Amino acid sequence: MRVAVIEFPGSNCDRDTVHVLKESLRIDANLVWHNDFKDGSYDAVILPGGFSFGDHLRAGIIAAHSPATKAVIQMASDGKPVLGICNGFQILIEAGLLPGALLRNAGLKFVCKWTALKVEANNSAFTCTFKKDTKIRMPIAHNEGRYFADDELLDALSAAGQIVMKYDEENPTGTARGIVGVSNEKGNVVGMMPHPERASDSALGGTDGLKVFESMVEWAKC
Partner 1 sequence: MRNPTGGYAVNPLFTVEVVISNKPQARDPEGETIIRDLIHKSGLQAVKEVRTGKLLSLKIEAADPDDARNTAVSMCNDLRIYNPVAHSITVRVRP
Active site residues: 86, 195, 197
The residue within the footprint of partner 1, chosen from 38, 65, 135, 186 (CB under 8 A), is 65
CB 52 within 8 A of CB 43: no
User: Contact region for partner 1 (CB under 8 A) — 44-52, 105-113, 188-196, 202-210?
Assistant: 105-113
Tell me if 169 contacts partner 1 by CB under 8 A: no
177 interacts with partner 1 by CB under 8 A: no
Q: Which residues contact 61 (CB under 8 A, 6 or more apart)?
A: 94
φ and ψ at residue 38, rounded to 5 degrees: -130, 140
Q: How far is the CB of 175 from partner 1 (least distance, A)?
A: 11
**How many residues in the shown chain lie near partner 1 by CB under 8 A?**
22
> What's the distance, CA 53 to chain centroid?
18
- Looking at 58, 118, 137, 177, which residue binds partner 1 (CB under 8 A)? 58
H-type alpha helices, 38-82: 61-64, 67-77
Contact between 148 and partner 1 by CB under 8 A: the answer reads yes
Q: Indicate the residue among 88 and 196 with the shorter CB distance to partner 1.
A: 88
Q: Which is nearer to partner 1, 42 or 147 (CB)?
A: 147
Q: Beta-strand (E) ranges in the chain?
A: 2-7, 11-12, 28-33, 44-47, 49-50, 82-85, 101-103, 111-119, 135-142, 146-148, 163-167, 179-183, 189-192
**C-beta separation of 199 from 138 below 8 A:** yes
Q: Tell me: does residue 156 bind partner 1 (CB under 8 A).
A: no
Residue 191 interacts with partner 1 (CB under 8 A): yes or no: no
Interface contacts to partner 1, rule CB under 8 A: 57-58, 61, 64-65, 94, 99-101, 103-108, 146, 148-151, 153, 174
